[in-house]
Amino acid sequence: MKVKRYIALSVCILYSVFCTLYATERTILIGPKTIGKAWKDNIVLEARHFADAKVGDVLTVYNDHAKRTAQGAFQNPTNWQGIAPEYAYFGINGPFRMTLTDDILAVAREHGIAIGGHDYRITQVTLSEASDYQETIVWRGPSVMMKNDWSVNAEIPGKAFVHLREGDAIRFHISKAQAGAAMKLSDMTWNVLDPSVDGVPVGGDAYTWYIYDQALQLKLQLAGNTMNTAMRVGGKGYCLDKIGLVQFVGEVSEDYSEAQRAPKEYILQPGEIFHGEKLFPNDWSGNLRISAAPFQKCTENDVLIISYTLDPTAKAAGVTPQLSLREGRNWSEITGAPEPIYYPLDGNDVVYMFDAVALDQVKTRGFILTGVGFTLTKIEILSAQ
């Protein structure tokens, strides 16, 4: 009897430990990682984070320094397309999230998930379970089909948002989403509620909008607990079926031992055109495009200094670390040579002196650095003057 009690107790403890570990929001990436302008930056969440993930789990990207026109994206790292149409691009205001589906999870387990976009900085990425979120349906229709001419709106009464809190999310359950479907949320006077939902792409069976600050909450509660309109849901190419209020009820883990670290970032000093960590893997998939802007006042005989650390995996993979400098448009050799020149890497900096041809190339279109077997740490221009 006593043994049975121990077994039962142990099972309970194990269950509670397991559940505590798993039913918390756990950090999988620690930033900062700057996602700069023009869709040029991204970071890939490693596939290992998703080995135990389930359909319905929620990926959350916490961020700061977002410009008002910032956009985020969840991408398939194999083709850099949106991992689902509704995640190809979206406005950013506060943390943004994605619920894992079968299709998304399949990609994530094999290749990971890339986070991209422009004009914001990732501070942290977490994974949490669907059960960490509790949804209460606050509007049940009747369903409204959004015509392609944007002429239809569903009017949502104030009483739907009485219990809304800052940090909650509003989930719009949709169906019949067509290609190009988009949602627009306006307030009672037809003003857009939030630039991030002014024609935002929607797809699948739901779109989730996060109430990231108190101003939004207050806007939605202006109509009070009444049937007066608090929100107009419009858009095109989808059917709005119901609306739920989603609240986080889970716990937050402070165990960062399994978290991925973003590459180091530095503020560029005068003369530096890159300073950080960028891996050039052994499969030649790595490249870095440098615009012509830093070279506008360069003169012949100015020197480019490229610093790096050798990738310890290169040798095991039978790869000879090397890099090559290419013209910024068609990848031809920067010197104008018919064949690309490969500079072998022995651990010392690569020093490159511009001649007239190369100088014209970099001042006109910049250049592309490509190579294998190293991590780029810095590129500097040393002026001959």
Partner 1 sequence: MRNTILLFSMLFLSVSCTAQNTPDPEPTTVPYTLCNPNATAETQQLWGVLCAQYGEKSLSGVVANIDWNTREAENVYQWTGQYPALNVFDFINIHASKDVNQQGWLDYSDMTPVTEWYNAGGIVGCMWHWQVPANNGTNMTCSPGTEPGETSFDASKINDPTSDAYRRMVKDIDQVAGYLKKMQKLGIPVIWRPLHEAAGNSTEFAGGKAWFWWGAQGPEVYKQLWRFMYDRLVNYHKLNNLIWVWTSQINDDEWYPGADVVDVVGRDNYYALQYPLAKEYKTLKTTYPDKLIALAECGNGDDVDMSLWSDIWAEGSRWSWFMTWYDYHYNAGTSDEHQFAGEAWWQNAIGSGLVLTREDVKRLMK
CA distances from 14 to 10, 18, 23, 83, 310 (A): 6, 6, 13, 36, 44
Q: Taking the complex as a whole, how short is the minimal distance between the CB of residue 65 and partner 1, in angstroms?
A: 12
Q: Taking the complex as a whole, how short is the minimal distance between the CB of residue 330 and partner 1, in angstroms?
A: 6
Backbone angles phi, psi at 268, to 5 degrees: -65, 135
Q: Which is nearer to partner 1, 267 or 293 (CB)?
A: 293
Whole-number Å distance between alpha carbons of 243 and 91: 20
Q: Taking the complex as a whole, how short is the minimal distance between the CB of residue 279 and partner 1, in angstroms?
A: 22
Half-sphere exposure of 186 (CA within 13 A, CB side): 14
Binding site for partner 1 (CB under 8 A): 37-40, 67-69, 148-149, 180, 195, 289, 291-293, 295-296, 329-330, 363-366
What DSSP letter does each residue of 202-220 carry, written as one string? Answer: --TTEEEEE--SHHHHHHH
Where does residue 74 rank: exposed (0-12), middle (13-18), buried (19+ CB within 10 A)? buried
Q: Taking the complex as a whole, how short is the minimal distance between the CB of residue 374 and partner 1, in angstroms?
A: 24
Q: Taking the complex as a whole, how short is the minimal distance between the CB of residue 180 and partner 1, in angstroms?
A: 7
Q: Taking the complex as a whole, how short is the minimal distance between the CB of residue 70 and partner 1, in angstroms?
A: 10
Q: Taking the complex as a whole, how short is the minimal distance between the CB of residue 368 and partner 1, in angstroms?
A: 12
49: three-class secondary structure by DSSP: helix
Whole-number Å distance between alpha carbons of 7 and 11: 6
Q: Which is nearer to partner 1, 143 or 291 (CB)?
A: 291
Q: Which is nearer to partner 1, 68 or 163 (CB)?
A: 68
Relative to beta strand 169-175, strand 238-248 is antiparallel
Quick one: which of 48, 49, 135, 133 has its CA closest to 97?
Answer: 133
Q: Which is nearer to partner 1, 3 or 293 (CB)?
A: 293
Q: Taking the complex as a whole, how short is the minimal distance between the CB of residue 195 and partner 1, in angstroms?
A: 5
Q: Which is nearer to partner 1, 32 or 195 (CB)?
A: 195
Residue reference for tokens 């006109």: 364
Q: Which is nearer to partner 1, 93 or 322 (CB)?
A: 93
Single-letter code of the amino acid located at 48: R
Where does residue 127 rank: exposed (0-12), middle (13-18), buried (19+ CB within 10 A)? buried
154: three-class secondary structure by DSSP: strand
Tokens encoding 381: 């221009």
